[in-house]
Amino acid sequence: MTQPHSSTSHCSPTAAMTPGQTLMWFLGGIAAMFVIVSIAFGIKLATEGRLSLFGKGSQSVALQTSTSLPPDKPVPDNEPVTPPVSAATVSPGTSGGFVSGSENILPPEAAHLARSPVEASAAPLPTEAAHASTPAAAPPASSIPDVLEAWAADWTHKDVTAYLAHYASDFKPANGLDRQAWIAQRKQRLAKPETISVTISDLDIKPAGDKASARFTQTYRAGEQNLRETKTLELTLRDGQWLIQQERIGS
């Protein structure tokens, strides 16, 4: 018997890739990934405005958007806030934009610069206003005891100039003497070498405006003299000083 002829198919195996082909495929994959990453990164930069792909207008808009704060975002505490200043306020040489009272928003040391020249010249200086409104304070009647103590001390020390300075220019001496004769008499007595001691006690002062009457007990010692007597001085206020206008022994 003749056996049928059976045909068998032979599958040829796939040829393996050479090392060169493997390297090419590897480099191609790396290049494709680099291109994809570069495109994605470029698109990201362009949308953020850091890549000028869409012209200067897009870049300026993106920059303005990125630097401005959204309305609902609070301003940080450490960031100074500068109010807008209008051109009319800062224009040099013009006064039309100035509104009276707006100098109150300036610092105190610069507020006077916002005034007009007429207002600045008319306003008195603080020191001038203080001196004009505050008159010189006259010494009160309570200072009369100190004045009389100084008068007695100058008499005791024989200081003729200081002693005579306690008397007013219109002082009326007793016993009918004129002022020049009385001054000569006082200088002669104070020039004596003997020691003088003058003290006052039991002082009674009666003020009446710019006049005052002082009654006291005077103890006078000079050499062998020892006098204790009541004396009354009439005082007047002249140029801020209490001066003796009249002097008498007794009440």
Instruction: Summarize pLDDT for 94-149 with one digit per residue, the tens.
Output: 444 445 554 455 555 555 555 555 555 555 554 544 444 444 556 787 899 999 99
Tell me the mean pLDDT in the region 1-17. Answer: 55
Q: Amino acid identity, residue 206?
A: K
Q: Are residues 241 and 149 in the same domain?
A: yes
Inside any domain, residue 93: no
Instruction: Please name the residue ranges forming H helices in 55-165.
Output: 56-67, 87-90, 117-122, 126-133, 144-156, 160-164
Inside any domain, residue 94: no
Tell me the mean pLDDT in the region 165-194. Answer: 91
Inside any domain, residue 162: yes
Inside any domain, residue 35: yes
pLDDT of residue 104: 52
**Residue 164 sits in a domain of what CATH number?**
3.10.450.50
- Report the range out of 81-90, 168-177, 224-233 with the highest average pLDDT: 224-233
Cβ atoms of residues 211 and 237 within 8 Å: yes
What distance separates the 2 farthest-apart alpha carbons in the chain?
A: 198
pLDDT of residue 1: 47
> Residues near 17 by Cβ (< 8 Å), separated by ≥ 6?
25
Domain C-terminal end among 17, 41, 64: 64
Question: How many angstroms separate the CA atoms of 119 and 106, rounded?
Answer: 17
Tell me the mean pLDDT in the region 152-166. Answer: 95
Number of structural domains found in the chain: 2
**Of 198 and 137, the one with more pLDDT:** 198
Tell me the mean pLDDT in the region 231-244. Answer: 95
pLDDT one-digit tens code per residue, 205-234: 999 999 999 999 999 999 888 999 999 999
Inside any domain, residue 96: no
pLDDT band at 48 (very low <50, low <70, confident <90, very high): confident
Residue 68 scores a pLDDT above 50: no
pLDDT of residue 58: 46
Residue 165 scores a pLDDT above 80: yes
Inside any domain, residue 172: yes
Report the chain's mean pLDDT, rounded to a whole number. 74
Inside any domain, residue 102: no
Inside any domain, residue 124: no
Reported pTM = 0.47
Q: Amino acid identity, residue 179?
A: R
CA torsion through residues 216, 217, 221, 226, sign: positive
pLDDT of residue 233: 95
Residue 188 structural domain: 141-249
Domain C-terminal end among 45, 64, 83: 64
Give the pair of three-digit tokens for residue 93: 């040489």
Q: Amino acid identity, residue 94?
A: T
Domain C-terminal end among 64, 87, 111: 64
Q: What percent of the chain has pLDDT over 90?
A: 37
Tell me the mean pLDDT in the region 87-92. Answer: 45
CA torsion through residues 246, 247, 248, 251, sign: positive
